Structure 1
């Protein structure tokens, strides 16, 4: 199975399904990996930067060089493990079911992109998105996830986010985060 991403973060895309609020948790990124079946069409590079003690940022880019179509699909699997062992990850209810990429842009993406609007050149759509998705090199410069589109409360543990794109080219992103309760 090929692992794949959406316009990131879909990193970090942690849980784009619920509404934003003052979150009671903190995260520490443990790893980020990307795959592309054809780097002539889409190429990804990401790294985790430590900003300060307990503060992390995402830096990288997506070189998007192909046209999306009705066959372009996205899905996001979100797993949780109490220990971080590969053997205890279980699928959570926050996963995003497989859907057309263009439908995703007009729904969940609009909430998700708020986390990256001040640190990337991802397009922001106030009205309905009209295809095609722009070919571009999307840059992410020290992006810190603010919490837009994320749940207020999360159980502690390790979370694995697998964002998968399919269609003309299969590609994606896998992010592992450690979630702890915020000390107030």
Structure 2
């Protein structure tokens, strides 16, 4: 899902909107409808911020639905507009588990609570980590696209992820990013493979 959204969303879409798009894509029903309760929005640290929603609407990824007047929950509802998402990634029950994992990772403090770019980067790295060895290797350009960053900005975020990364390096000849996560006891739970 991260790879699909990296290709589908314009490069100017920010990290907060990408985190929101991921939750919407993973939680949509078979009709492309999604409802994010207030608790999910709080876990995303979005609250009532309209900017991520506006970015996704401008990218023609989704359209917010008007709130039901009798709804006790003040969450948000939307309709996914991306037909490619339906064709390549139809709604499945196991996706909700991946969406819940992504929220838990952010809530448990794997990355800075105030910086969506750090939370999204941590999510991407953990999702691409081989859980058997705690290491990962992906092309720098791919991770940068998934995070909505240029490589130079991505490297600055890596330097601030000391709560997650034991080490990281770039093989300049191949353009591959290599990293090692802190041991399982020192970091968040491993990723759900459905996320990558």
- TM-score, normalized by the shorter chain, greater than 0.5: no
Name which one, 1 or 2, has greater alpha-carbon Rg: 2
Compute the TM-score of the two structures, normalised by the length of structure 2: 0.28
Compute the TM-score of the two structures, normalised by the length of structure 1: 0.29
| Greater share of residues in helix | 2
| Greater share of residues in strand | 1
